[in-house]
A and B are shown apart, each in its own frame.
Chain A
Amino acid sequence: MTITGRFALLLALGVVPVVAAGLAGAAEAWVALAGWLTLALGAGVLDVSLAASPRRVALGRELPDRVRLGESVTAELTVRNLGTRMLRATVRDGWEPSAGLAGANRTPLRVPPGERRRMTLQLTPWRRGDRRVAQVTVRSAGPLGLWSRQATLAAPGRIRVLPPFHSRVHLPSRLTRLRELDGRTPLLIRGQGTEFDSIREYVRGDDVRSIDWRATARHVDPEVPGSMRIMVRTWRPERDRRIVIVADTSRTAAARIADEPRLDTAFEASLLLAALASHAGDRVDFLAWDRRLRGRVHGASGPDLLARMVDVMAGIDAELIEADWSSVPGQVRRVTSRHALVVLLTAADSPGSSRGLLSMLPQLTARHTVIVASVTDPALVEAGAARGDLEEVYRAAAAERGLIDAARVAAAIRRLGALTVSAPPHELPPALADRYLDLKASGQL
Chain B
Amino acid sequence: MSGGPPTTAVPDRAGSARAPTEQAADAATAVTPTFRALVRRRRIWIVFAAVLVLGAIVALAIQGGLRPPGVPLGADNPAPLGSMALVEVLRDHGVSVTESRSLESAVDAAERGATVVLYDEFALLDESRLDRIAGVAERLVVVEPGFSALEALAPGVRLAGVASGPIDDVACELPAAERAGSLGDGQRLLTVDDDARAAGWQGCFRDEEFGFALVSGEGDDGGKVTLVAATTVFANESIDDAGNAALAIGLTGGSDELVWYLPGLGDVDAAEAPSIAELTPGWVSPVMVLLIAVVVAAGIWRGRRFGPLVTENLPVHVPAGETSEGRARLYARSAARGRALDQLRIGAIGGIAEALKLPRAAELGAVTDAAARATGRDEASVRRLLVDTEPGDDHDLIELAAELDVLEREVRATLRPRFTRPADPADPTDPAGRRP
Query: Given A96-B310, A108-B2, A119-B8: A19 and B28 within 8 A (CB)?
Result: no
Indicate whether A59 reaches chain B with its CB closer than 8 angstroms: yes
Query: Given A105-B7, A116-B16: A7 and B29 within 8 A (CB)?
Result: no
Residues of A within 8 A of B31 (CB): 135, 151-154
Which stretch of B100-108, B206-214, B256-264, B279-287 is in the interface?
B279-287
Q: Is the CB of A389 within 8 A of B398?
A: yes
Indicate whether B90 reaches chain A with its CB closer than 8 angstroms: no
Q: Is the CB of B320 within 8 A of A11?
A: no
Residues of B within 8 A of A21 (CB): 283
Residues of B within 8 A of A12 (CB): 290-291, 294
A3 to chain B, nearest CB (A): 5
Residues of B within 8 A of A116 (CB): 12, 15-16
A242 to chain B, nearest CB (A): 23
Q: Is the CB of B7 within 8 A of A391?
A: no
Which stretch of A254-262, A291-299, A303-311, A322-330 is in the interface?
A254-262
Indicate whether B325 reaches chain A with its CB closer than 8 angstroms: yes
B36 to chain A, nearest CB (A): 13
Indicate whether B44 reaches chain A with its CB closer than 8 angstroms: no
Indicate whether A364 reaches chain B with its CB closer than 8 angstroms: no
Indicate whether A220 reaches chain B with its CB closer than 8 angstroms: no
Indicate whether A208 reaches chain B with its CB closer than 8 angstroms: no
Residues of B within 8 A of A434 (CB): 435
Most chain A CB within 10 A, of B1, B11, B29, B307, is at B307
Q: Is the CB of A393 within 8 A of B340?
A: yes
Q: Is the CB of B28 within 8 A of A136?
A: yes
A54 to chain B, nearest CB (A): 8
Q: Is the CB of A398 within 8 A of B3?
A: no
B236 to chain A, nearest CB (A): 39
- Residue interface mask B1-19, A partner, CB < 8 A = 1: 1111111111110011000
B391 to chain A, nearest CB (A): 10
- Residue interface mask A13-40, B partner, CB < 8 A = 1: 0110011011101111110110011000
Assembly CA distance A133 to B287 (angstroms): 46
Query: Given A11-B297, A397-B343, A407-B350: A2 and B28 within 8 A (CB)?
Result: no
Residues 383-402 of B contacting A (Cβ, < 8 Å): 394, 397-398, 401-402
A152 partner, pick from B30, B301, B325, B350, beta carbons under 8 A: B30
Query: Given A5-B298, A431-B433: A26 and B316 within 8 A (CB)?
Result: no
A217 to chain B, nearest CB (A): 42
B1 partner, pick from A95, A106, A256, beta carbons under 8 A: A106
Q: Is the CB of B15 within 8 A of A118?
A: yes
Q: Is the CB of A151 within 8 A of B9?
A: no
Most chain B CB within 10 A, of A29, A320, A385, is at A29
Indicate whether A318 reaches chain B with its CB closer than 8 angstroms: yes
Indicate whether A8 reaches chain B with its CB closer than 8 angstroms: yes
Q: Is the CB of B431 within 8 A of A155?
A: no
Q: Is the CB of A106 within 8 A of B3?
A: yes
Which stretch of B116-124, B139-147, B176-184, B327-335 is in the interface?
B327-335
Residues of A within 8 A of B332 (CB): 390-391, 394
Indicate whether B66 reaches chain A with its CB closer than 8 angstroms: no
Q: Is the CB of A22 within 8 A of B283?
A: yes
Most chain A CB within 10 A, of B2, B297, B339, B350, is at B297
Assembly CA distance A389 to B328 (angstroms): 13
Residue of A nearest to B316 (CB): A254
Residues of B within 8 A of A387 (CB): 398, 401-402, 405
Assembly CA distance A122 to B9 (angstroms): 12
Indicate whether A179 reaches chain B with its CB closer than 8 angstroms: no
B183 to chain A, nearest CB (A): 51
Residues of A within 8 A of B300 (CB): 2-3
Residues of A within 8 A of B316 (CB): 254, 317-318, 320
Indicate whether B268 reaches chain A with its CB closer than 8 angstroms: no
B290 partner, pick from A15, A134, A391, beta carbons under 8 A: A15
Q: Is the CB of B331 within 8 A of A118?
A: no
Residue of B nearest to A320 (CB): B316
B29 partner, pick from A27, A106, A154, A438, beta carbons under 8 A: A154
Q: Is the CB of B398 within 8 A of A390?
A: yes
B316 to chain A, nearest CB (A): 5
Assembly CA distance A184 to B433 (angstroms): 29
Which stretch of A194-202, A266-274, A416-424 is in the interface?
A416-424
Indicate whether A185 reaches chain B with its CB closer than 8 angstroms: no
Which stretch of A228-236, A278-286, A375-383 is in the interface?
A375-383
Assembly CA distance A98 to B28 (angstroms): 25
B78 to chain A, nearest CB (A): 34
Assembly CA distance A243 to B259 (angstroms): 112
A425 to chain B, nearest CB (A): 10
Residues of B within 8 A of A107 (CB): 3, 7-9
Indicate whether B265 reaches chain A with its CB closer than 8 angstroms: no
Query: Closest 8 A-B residue pairs measured CB to CB?
Result: A22-B283, A103-B4, A137-B307, A26-B282, A114-B20, A397-B340, A58-B25, A400-B347
List 14 contacting pairs A-B, 8 Å CB cutoff, sorted by A: A8-B298, A15-B290, A26-B285, A29-B282, A32-B286, A105-B3, A106-B1, A108-B2, A120-B7, A135-B307, A152-B308, A154-B30, A394-B331, A400-B347
Contact surface of B with A, Cβ cutoff 8 Å: 1-12, 15-16, 20, 23, 25-32, 34, 281-287, 289-291, 293-294, 297-298, 300-301, 304, 306-308, 310, 312, 314-321, 323-325, 327-329, 331-332, 339-341, 343-344, 346-347, 350, 360, 394, 397-398, 401-402, 405, 429, 431-435
User: Contacts A7-B297, A27-B282, A376-B431 given; 5 further ones with Cβ under 8 A?
Assistant: A103-B4, A104-B7, A106-B3, A151-B31, A377-B321
